[in-house]
Structure 1
C-alpha cells in the first residue's frame, strides 16, 4: 500500500537520522553541496518566472522541484536534518556529538553549494560581469538587501521576525520531509512534498539555505551588504528559527505523541538485522 502510518514514519525518521550521523565528512559535504546548489538554481528559476509573469505565486508553484530532487536522491539538507536527528536522539539511536558534527558539516556543504550556484548565476545574469544586473538580478539583490540591511534597521523586532519566520518555514519543510516518507511511490513523494514547500515560499517565510543563496548572490551582484549584516541579521536568527521549527515543533512534538514504545521496536529491528548479518557471516 502506498502509505506509511505515522508511527512507522517516525521509526523511519529515527533510523534515517541515525544513518546520517554516521556519514563520512566527505559525504556530508558533497551531498550538502548538491542540496545548496539545487536550491540556488530553483530560486533563480522562481525569481525569473516571477519577474516574467508579474505573479509571485507562480514562483512558489515552481520552486519545490529542487526539494523533490533532494528527497529522491537522498542528499543532505541541514533544515530537514534538524527534525530527523531530533527523533533519532529521542529514540536513543545517536549522540549529541554526532548530531552536531552532521549539522555543522552539512551546513557548510549547503553554504558551499549556494556559493558556487551564486557565482555561476551572477556570472550568467551579468554576461560575465560585463553589463549591469538585469531585472532578475535586481530582484535577487532587492530580496537580499531586505533580509539583511532592512532587518537590521528594524533592530530587535527584525531579529525576532526572522526567528519566527524561520520557525514557521521549517515546520513546513520538515513536514515535507515526513511526507516523503509517508508515500512509497515517486509520484506520491513528488505531490506530497510539493505542497508544504510551495506554501512556505508563497508565504515569504525564511529558509536558511535559500537565504544563503539570496544573500551571497546579491553581494556578488553588488548589494552593499556587510558580513556582519549577513550573519547577525539573517543567518543567525533564521538558523535559530529553523532549528526550533524542525527539532522542537516537528521532531520533539511528533515523537511525544507517536513515539510510544519506539525505542523497544527500533531495538528489536536492529537486533534482528544484526542476527541476520551474523548468520550470513
Structure 2
C-alpha cells in the first residue's frame, strides 16, 4: 500500500487553475499524478465552467493564427507556419496561466487512473464534461467572431483563409487524421508535463511555446481547436454573400463539403481518438510504465534520485483522491 504524502510537505490543488500547486521537491511524474487526480475530483460545475473558458481560449488562439497567416503572399511557407504556431501557443498559455480545463491535457489523468486514485467511470465522466465545455466555449467564439464580421478582414482574405484551413481538415484519410491527432497531443501533453518542472508562471509559458508551435506548424490535428475552426468555416460558407465569394475569385460551391457529417466522421472522431492515444496512452501511461519499472529495480530510491534529483521523502504518492486536499480559488 502506498503511503500518503507526508504532512510536512502538504499538497494543495488549486481547483481554479490548470496546474496544481505542489512542492518543488516532487518529481514531474508525482506532480502528473496529482494534476490528473485534480481534474477528476473537481466539482462538475466548476470543471464544466473552466472547460468553457478553455474552449474559448483555444478558439481565440486560432483567430490569432488566422490573422498572422493571412496575406502572407510569397513569404516562405515554413516561416509563415512557424509564426502561426507561435501565435497559436497563446491558447495553451491562457489555459495554464489563467485557468481552464482542456480535454487534450485532461487526458493525462490516465496517470491517476493507472495509480488507482480514480476509477474508470470517474475518468470518463471527467473527459465527457470537459469535452462538452470545450465545445460550448468554441461555439460561443464562432458566434462572436461571425457577429464581429472578422471574416471580411483584408478584403475577405481572412475568411478565405479560414475556409481553406477548415476544408483541408476534412480531406485527411481516417488513419491520417488519427495519426495527426496522436502526434498533436503528444506535444501538447509533453508541453504540459514540462511545466511541472517549474513553479514560475513565465517559465511555464515559455516552455509551452515550442511544443505548440511545432504541432501547429506541422499540421498536426487538435480536436478542440477543430471544434472552433471547422464550424467557423461552415458558418462563413453558409452566411457570406455571393459578392464576398466573387470578390475573392471563388464560389460558395467550392466549400460545399464543409458539413456537420463530414466534420464528425472525417475529422472529429479520428482526431479525438488520436488525441487520447497520444496524450493519455503514449505520454501518460508511457511515463507510468517507466515509473513502475523504476520501482522494481534493485535500488529504486537511488534511481529516482538520479533522475529527478529530489529527496526520497518527497516522492511518496497519495493513496486515493480523497487524500488530496482541495481548496477553493481565493
Q: TM-score range by the shorter chain?
A: 0.7 to 0.9
Quote the Cα distance in structure 2 between the aligned partners of 1:74 and 1:107: 16
Q: Is 1:75 aligned to residue 100 of structure 2? A: yes
Q: Is 1:265 aligned to residue 284 of structure 2? A: no
The answer as to whether partners of 1:174 and 1:246 remain within 8 angstroms in 2 is: yes
What corresponds to 2:126 in structure 1? 102
How far apart are 1:110 and its partner, in Å? Answer: 0.5
**Residue deviations 1:216-244 (CA, integer Å, cap 9, x gap):** 11111115322211110011000010000
TM-score (norm 1): 0.85
What corresponds to 1:28 in structure 2? 47
Matches within 5 A, 1:55-66: 55-66=80-91
Aligned counterpart for 2:203 among listed residues 167, 188, 193: 188
The answer as to whether partners of 2:81 and 2:216 remain within 8 angstroms in 1 is: no
How far apart are 1:180 and its partner, in Å? Answer: 1.5
What corresponds to 2:111 in structure 1? 87
Q: Is 1:146 aligned to residue 165 of structure 2? A: no
TM-score (norm 2): 0.73
Quote the Cα distance in structure 2 between the aligned partners of 1:69 and 1:266: 29
Do the aligned partners of residues 106 and 27 (structure 1) sit closer, same or farther apart at CA in structure 2, a change above 3 Å counting?
Answer: same
Worse overlay, 194-203 or 46-55: 46-55
Q: Which has the larger radius of gyration?
A: 2
Quote the Cα distance in structure 2 between the aligned partners of 1:103 and 1:273: 20
How far apart are 1:258 and its partner, in Å? Answer: 2.7
What corresponds to 1:120 in structure 2? 144
Quote the Cα distance in structure 2 between the aligned partners of 1:272 and 1:118: 41
Quote the Cα distance in structure 2 between the aligned partners of 1:110 and 1:30: 9
Matches within 5 A, 1:216-227: 216-222=231-237, 223-224=255-256, 225-227=258-260
Could you say what secondary structure the match of 2:196 adopts?
A: helix
Flag as ranges the 4+ runs of structure 1 deviating above 4 A. Answer: 259-262, 268-274
Do the aligned partners of residues 270 and 124 (structure 1) sit closer, same or farther apart at CA in structure 2, a change above 3 Å counting?
Answer: closer
The answer as to whether partners of 1:126 and 1:133 remain within 8 angstroms in 2 is: no
**Residue deviations 1:158-193 (CA, integer Å, cap 9, x gap):** 000000000000000000111121111112111111
Do the aligned partners of residues 165 and 271 (structure 1) sit closer, same or farther apart at CA in structure 2, a change above 3 Å counting?
Answer: closer
Structure having the higher helix fraction is 1
Quote the Cα distance in structure 2 between the aligned partners of 1:241 and 1:133: 37
How far apart are 1:52 and its partner, in Å? Answer: 3.9
Do the aligned partners of residues 86 and 273 (structure 1) sit closer, same or farther apart at CA in structure 2, a change above 3 Å counting?
Answer: closer
Number of aligned positions between the proteins: 260
Do the aligned partners of residues 239 and 271 (structure 1) sit closer, same or farther apart at CA in structure 2, a change above 3 Å counting?
Answer: closer
How far apart are 1:272 and its partner, in Å? Answer: 8.3
Quote the Cα distance in structure 2 between the aligned partners of 1:110 and 1:271: 27
Quote the Cα distance in structure 2 between the aligned partners of 1:176 and 1:268: 27
Quote the Cα distance in structure 1 between the aligned partners of 2:190 and 2:269: 23
What corresponds to 1:197 in structure 2? 212
Do the aligned partners of residues 94 and 133 (structure 1) sit closer, same or farther apart at CA in structure 2, a change above 3 Å counting?
Answer: farther
Do the aligned partners of residues 244 and 270 (structure 1) sit closer, same or farther apart at CA in structure 2, a change above 3 Å counting?
Answer: closer
Quote the Cα distance in structure 2 between the aligned partners of 1:247 and 1:22: 17
Structure 2 unmatched ranges of 5 or more: 1-22, 74-79, 238-254, 296-303, 305-314, 326-330
